[in-house]
Structure 1
Amino acid sequence: MKFLRITMLSALLFCHTAFALELDDAKQNGLVGEQENGYLGAVVDRADVMALIGEINVKRKAKYIELANKNNITLEQVEKLAAKKAFEKTASGHYLKHDGEWVKK
């Protein structure tokens, strides 16, 4: 019985990983885009999209805090710089949120 539970758990974890949304795919498919605040936003409201955004934005914020502390500047300054860089690096056809509206670059 214990072996069966471990096998089922492994299978569930594998399935979750196999179907997990990847950032590049999400951008390519117009599901997410870069925002003016330095964080990723949802172009399409779906559970998997929201989960991806949450995961990415937690990592971004941690890095932004680290950079702010290291460079003796505010978190808001880092977020603004990150947004500028993200907008510049965004590929043509991907979404950016500008003045509250999603637009394709």
Structure 2
Amino acid sequence: MKMLKSALAMVALLFSMGAFALDLDAAKSQGLVGEQTDGYLGVVKATPAAVELAADINQKRRAAYERIAKQNGITLEQVARLAGQKAIDKTEAGQYVKTPGGQWVEK
């Protein structure tokens, strides 16, 4: 479990860093993308830039989740759901999150 927590911390670092960090923050602030319970970024308002950004971020997240799952002997889905809950918890007020029912709400 301690290793899983460390691995999830690495995922959190992945979320906050990278070439798209400023673009991701801007896209979230503009209401273009939001966090989902499945651990992936969703598109709230479908612009070409938002769709491309979400696809790129989600590809990187999936790769990180796969590594963490393999290291901890758990499923990709378990890692993704844990990361999704952490991402939703860390979402700032005014940004969007997707409910389990599939609706976008402003936090």
Q: Note the residue ranges of structure 2 that are not aligned, 5 or more in a row.
A: 1-21
Matched residue SS, 1:25: helix
Q: Does 2:103 correspond to 1:101?
A: yes
- Aligned-pair RMSD on alpha carbons? 1.0
Flag as ranges the 4+ runs of structure 1 deviating above 4 A.
none
Q: Structure 1, residues 59-94: CA drift from partner, whole Å, max 9, x if none?
A: 000000000001110001001101110111000110
How do 1:14-53 residues align onto structure 2 when only pairs under 5 Å count? 22-53=23-54
Match of 1:4 in 2: none
Match of 2:4 in 1: none
**With structure 1 as the length reference, what TM-score do the two structures score?**
0.79
Q: Note the residue ranges of structure 1 that are not aligned, 5 or more in a row.
A: 1-20
Q: Percent identity?
A: 52
Matched residue SS, 2:46: coil
How far off is 1:36 after superposition? 1.1
